[in-house]
Structure 1
Amino acid sequence: MRAIMRACTCLWGGAYNPIIPVFNRPPPEWKPEIYERFKGPAVAKGYVRFFEPDVYVEAEEGLLEKAGIAGIREQHAMHPQAITLEQLFEARDGRSYSEPTFGLNMIDVFRHIYESEQRFVLRDKGDCVRVKPQRGNALVECIFGAFPTSADLSYVTAAYADVYKPEQAEASPETWKRVFQKGSQTPLRATHYQLNAQRYWHHDPVLFVFDPTRATDLIDVWNLKLRTQSSPANSPRLV
């Protein structure tokens, strides 16, 4: 299984970018009821209809064709509507750093936050954490957010540290409670900045138990968060 859009970091994704799975045969945990049948392209198209993405970032080239939506490659605007993940942050013009091919670079967000808020002495200093990713799973990327480790993008990690002076923390229930209950800042939460999603319905609390080592669970929990949240505080309870 592959994913057209990846959204696990605050740089090449963000809290409001869905993950669209592409597969030929459904994974065992996604098999339909005994009397129902579906194919991978139909599922991908269903995600596209539901989320209506503006642009597409392929984890690897050719996924649009596998999903049956290759027509998106036709360029009808100034910039292409679909590129690969490699092209999204491809270094150009001999520079030692990379910028997103389209979209807003988080460095601009951090600069605005510093100029308008953080450079002043705050009466109520906010809590901020940066959680170290774990090997073998994507728990931190999914819940707290993490930065790419490539050298050409290290300046964004440095900007987050300069603006917020985050405390290094471990991925633990206590850290999660700081974020969920006390509103601690995280790399992922920063992607919500001044994005005021207006919703006119409410969900009951959702308890979602997932395995952070399984791609299918990560896709489900990521897209569930995107669909149910109108603000960081309204995210589902995750275990």
Structure 2
Amino acid sequence: MVKPSDKKRVLEILKINTCLWGGKFNPIIPFFRQVPSWWDRHGHRFDTSKQIINGYLDRYEPDFLVEAEKELAVGLGFNSKRVLQLSDLLKRADDRSSKGNGLSTFDLYKELYLKEFQFERRHKHNITSVTAEDPIFESFCACVFGGFPKQKNLNYLGRAFKDAFDPTEVTLNGGTLARLYGTGLTSALDIGQAKIEVDYHDHSDATLFVLNAQEPRDLIDFWNLRTFQREIIAVPIQWIDELSDYCKNAIKKAYRPMPGNPNGVMLNAKVMFSRSIPQADIERLYQKILVVNAPPGTNSRQDWYPAIWRPTPSFHVGSSRPILTAAEKTFDVQYSEDTPVIRFDSLYPEFAEKYGNANRWANIVKLRNWSFENQIATVLPTEYKDPKFSPFRLGSVSVISKYDGVIFKLTDGAQDIVKGGLKPPFTTCLWW
């Protein structure tokens, strides 16, 4: 959670997420006391600031809330034990006594190197390290391709990335950005989601998101939209001339019949303009640089940002966040009222070191009752901020109910069974 005008902390957040396993899908929640004038292009005020912030929280249901500044989460009803600071996430190299939170990509880089990249390959990989030619584009570069902290006690993560993969070094400017988009590179941000299966529920058409690369609020909007959409490309207005040919080719390529549809329905790419670009400039930019001479329906434009903080109406098929899965297993267990306990083995990423940060991963449990005797509640109300009651327990571990299942959370002082202070295997006992 960060103020959308805070350039320094937004850049820090982007770099931290590059260094966390699956960090590309961590949302960035904008914080403000009053809704800013730029929030709606036409100046409408449909939501209060608190409704917007809580709407983001309800959409993403975060396990932990990380504050860019202290006390941003005050008044939101989030359990204070699950509120962290940015400094709590990455482990400092010069401080052995402190622990970070989340699974660092350091273990992932080590695993990938030992299993794949230490050997000579028949075909060279496309892993690329991208750095901005001009420092004013550093945040944009980190948002799209990833970036690493430069502090002396954190720069070991960037060194580990280069040592493990020997990436191609590219300096980012308008010309190289078009080539990078065309080559399908693997960036540091992409590597950070290795060994995670991403199940997108969004099947919308490709999006070209035109933004101001120097506006942190635009970078936040792009980052969050990418957590939902599979195909979205950032088009900086500063380099829109250099990217014009690439964008036009992408629009032409996207215009195609919908597979399996016999009624002539066509797919197309839409051009979406960020909220920082004045309405008066949109028509000129769009017509001059982005419109293609093609059959009707090829060109599509959207001047408004999707209200992802609002609940989806029941009559509309909305977007939901993707499901990230590293391992999955089904257990058949017996249940009886005399011994209301079920046992199953917890899952964990095998590349993680035995000892490490706190809260490195989570086990989500989905219950299915095939007995048809209605002995077990398999659907529970969502309660992720500060759960007060649960129908079952796991030792001293508390339980959080979310839309995608039941997640086990640890109370203070509990041995980390499910989430990895110590590495499993453990047998988990769940009782009512």
| TM-score interval for Structure 1 and Structure 2 normalised by the shorter chain | 0.7 to 0.9
Q: What is the CA–CA distance in structure 2 between the aligned matches of 1:176 and 1:35, rounded to whole Å?
A: 35
- Secondary structure, counterpart of 2:84 in structure 1: strand
Q: 1:15 corresponds to which residue?
A: 24
Distance 2:27 2:95 in 1: 32
Q: Is the 8 A contact 2:127 2:186 kept in 1?
A: yes
Please point out which of 229, 233, 237 is paired with 1:236.
233
What is the aligned residue count?
225
Which of 43, 53, 67 lines up with 1:44 in the alignment? 53
Alignment match, 1:24: 33
Higher helix share: 1
Matches of 2:25 and 2:144, distance apart in 1: 13
Amino acid at match of 2:28: I
- CA deviation profile, 1:153-190 (whole Å, cap 9, x unmatched): 11111111011112221213454345444332211111
Displacement, 1:105? Answer: 0.8
Q: Larger deviation: 5-14 or 141-150?
A: 5-14
Percent same amino acid at aligned positions?
28
Aligned mates of 1:187, 1:132 — CA distance in 2: 11
1:194-228 deviation per Cα after TM superposition (whole angstroms, max 9, x unaligned): 21111355211111100121122111111011110
- Structure 2 equivalent of residue 129 of structure 1: 128
Larger mean CA deviation between 197-206 and 114-123 belongs to 197-206
**Deviation, structure 1 residue 28:** 2.4
Counting only pairs closer than 5 Å after superposition, residues 77-116 of structure 1 correspond to structure 2 as 81-89=82-90, 91=92, 94-95=95-96, 101-116=100-115
2:76 aligned partner = 69
Deviation at 1:54, TM superposition (A): 1.4
Distance 1:33 1:178, change over 3 A: closer
Q: Which amino acid aligns with 2:233?
A: P
Residue 82 of structure 1 and its aligned partner are, at CA, apart by 1.6
**Cα deviations across residues 95-122 of structure 1 (Å, max 9, x unaligned)?**
39x76x2211111010011011101111
Distance 1:176 1:194 in 2: 27
Identify which range, 146-155 or 161-170, moves more after superposition.
161-170
Instruction: Tell me: CA distance 1:25–1:166, structure 2 relative to 1, closer, same or farther (3 Å).
Output: same
- CA distance, structure 2, for counterparts of residue 179 and residue 32 of structure 1: 31
Task: State the SS of the aligned residue for 1:169.
Answer: strand
- Residue of structure 2 equivalent to 1:213: 214
Do the aligned residues in 1 keep the contact of 2:209 with 2:233 (CA within 8 Å)?
Answer: yes
Give distance in 1, aligned partners of 2:145 and 2:156.
19
Letter in 2 for 1:59: A
Q: Which has the larger radius of gyration?
A: 2
| Larger RCO of the pair (alpha carbons < 8 Å, separation 6+) | 1
Name the Cα RMSD after superposition.
2.7
Distance 1:40 1:55 in 2: 21
Distance 1:111 1:177, change over 3 A: farther
Q: In structure 1, give the amino acid aligned to 2:203.
A: H
Question: After superposition, where does 1:107-186 map in structure 2 within 5 Å?
Answer: 107-133=106-132, 134-137=134-137, 138-186=139-187
Change (3 A) 1:161 1:94: closer
TM-score by length of 1: 0.82
Give distance in 2, aligned partners of 1:17 and 1:46: 16
Alpha-carbon distance in 2 for matches of 1:215, 1:186:
21
State how far apart, in whole Å, the 2-side matches of 1:156 and 1:93 are.
13
Structure 1 contact 179–185 (Cα < 8 Å) conserved: no
Question: Hey, what's the Cα distance between the residues in 2 that align with 1:45 and 1:39?
Answer: 10
